[in-house]
Amino acid sequence: MAIALLGRPVRRGPLRPATEDTSDADLIEQFVSRRDHLAFAILVRRHGPMVFGVCRRVLRDPHDAEEAFQVTFLVLVRKAGTLRQPERLANWLYGVANRVARKAKLTAARRERHERAVAGSSFTAPVTVGPDRAELRAVLDEEMVALPEKYREPLVLCYLEGLTNEDAARRLGWPPGSMSYRLARGRELLRRRLARRGLVCLALWPVFLQVLSERASAGEVPSELIDTTLDRAKQEADKSPPVRNTRPILPWPVLMLVLVLGFGAAAVAGWAAHKPPENPPTAATTPAGTNGESGGHCTGAHPAP
């Protein structure tokens, strides 16, 4: 495998056919390099429940949630070739789904205000007694997005995608001990953020823990929604192919040659700068008749007599 000068590894040879066991990074590479729609379909089915869970928690209208789900994967179609860490696709999709869903929520809120204005006094706002379970999940998503990535990612993989600590650590290439620590640290940071919003108390925190422990992706994505998403993704890929990363890439032998030549040129330049000249110039003599002194080394101007 060749090594990129400034980025991801450059693959040599044919890629293996996409299967359910293929890693996210390899599926992204197959989709970008040869427009493999089967690889993309595996990604949609693998991460679709987590993405759909985010969209449903943020958006109450099921049609808005389905549209946000599709838009999230259309963003992946456009950005697949520029992902810096494709092996961390789940975390990236989680952030995109949140942004897309919250933008749709603002649009829905404006639409609702317009409908209220049209309805006038005949509109009666619903009475809310307290936060329900869906609202608690939405708050959790809002605060999780604000966590540092290294603490948010374990929460996404272990709680929202249902992976074990060992599977999540293996996917990210982390030691199991590091995964356990970051998972615990992420929960603590999340608790503090909820406390700053006044939502955590002795009675409510166990509810948050239970909501967090529930696999948010529990309900399968409707097969019709997956089919529609894949059709739109194929159309999007056909009209605007994924943009590959355009950073300069050099094969490993060429890179080594460039480095060797660069160091050699620097060494030659340094040696030439310090080598004494073969014929050093002789000291200039002072012409006769100037104060009766012979030429010599001058360290400064002589004062006038």
Q: Does residue 242 register a pLDDT over 60?
A: no
Q: Does residue 125 register a pLDDT over 90?
A: no
Buried b (16+ CB within 10 A) or exposed e, 258-278: eeeeeeeeeeeeeeeeeeeee
Q: How high is the pLDDT of residue 14?
A: 57
Q: Are 26 and 15 in contact (CB under 8 A)?
A: yes
Q: Report the C-alpha gap between 52 and 303 in whole angstroms.
A: 91
Supply the pTM of this predicted model.
0.68
Q: How confident is residue 19, by pLDDT bands cut at 50, 70 and 90?
A: confident
Q: Report the C-alpha gap between 262 and 257 in whole angstroms.
A: 8
Choose from 9-18, 199-208, 294-303 the range with maximum mean pLDDT.
199-208
CA atoms within 13 A on the CB side of 206: 2
What does the pLDDT look like over 184-241, one tens digit per residue?
A: 999 889 888 888 887 766 556 666 667 666 655 455 799 999 999 999 999 999 886 5
* Residue whose token pair is 């990129």: 4
Q: Are 45 and 88 in contact (CB under 8 A)?
A: no
What does the pLDDT look like over 98-121, one tens digit per residue?
A: 999 999 998 877 877 766 677 665
Q: How high is the pLDDT of residue 98?
A: 94
Q: Does residue 294 register a pLDDT over 70?
A: no
What SS3 state is found at 2?
strand
Mean pLDDT, residues 10-30 taken together: 78
Q: Are 183 and 155 in contact (CB under 8 A)?
A: yes
- Nearest in space to 50 (alpha carbons), one of 168, 178, 181: 168
Mean pLDDT, residues 14-24 taken together: 81
